[in-house]
Amino acid sequence: MNLLDSHGRTLTWFDRTVRLVRADQWDNPTPCTEWTVRDVVNHIVSEQLWVPHLLNGATLAEVGDRYDGDVLGDDPVRAWTEASTNARRAWTEEGATERTVHLSFGAFDASLYGWQMTTDLAVHAWDVAVGIKVPLPIEDDVAEKLIPIVHPMIEAAQGTGILAPPVEVSDTAPASERIVALCGRSPR
């Protein structure tokens, strides 16, 4: 399974989850202890808005603060749909995954950025699903692919305040549980 396949599948999971959020659930808490369902979706939509810029060579300074704050407006599902459609289009352009992107920690191969985005989509889809109390597990084959790729990135992020410390789970736990535990969430 390659990056674009994994990304497409996690984008679909997130899309399905967002469409299940009822009007009275946007303020529900999530496993991201500081974020409600709306906050998690806002974070992911903001990330999607950045994708076309970064894949086209823009720096963080060039994008600036245009996606700070509330990017959902009155229609979170529409905001998600538009942002994710444009992001996916950018990811599937010829050679997009071979470009260099400017991230907060330097210039890197776009495929690294793609795997980060794929992981964020998968784990935050799980967060939203937990927040709205629907079963939407991360598919184990995608989680198996993500774990060895993102494990070093997650280790490097520890202590920065970006992620909670990993939660211990059995090595024999399903990959979907191991990936959320790696990202500081209790899978049960």
Domains identified in the chain, total number: 1
Residue 88 in domain: yes
Q: How many CB atoms lie within 10 A of CB 42?
A: 21
Provide the CATH number for the domain around residue 172: 1.20.120.450
pTM of the model: 0.92
Per-residue pLDDT of the chain (188 residues; tens, 9 = 90+): 699 999 999 999 999 999 999 999 999 999 988 899 999 999 999 999 999 999 999 999 999 999 999 999 999 999 999 999 999 999 999 999 999 999 887 888 999 999 999 999 999 999 999 999 998 778 899 999 999 988 887 777 666 666 777 889 998 999 999 999 988 888 87
Residue 110 in domain: yes
**Partners of residue 36 on adjacent β-strands:** 29
Tens-digit pLDDT profile for residues 5-42: 999 999 999 999 999 999 999 999 999 888 999 999 99
Which residues form the domain of 68?
3-182
Measured distance CA(125)–CA(122) in Å, rounded: 5
Measured distance CA(10)–CA(4) in Å, rounded: 10
Q: Which 3 state secondary structure label does DSSP give 41? A: helix
Measured distance CA(128)–CA(42) in Å, rounded: 11
Measured distance CA(101)–CA(160) in Å, rounded: 21
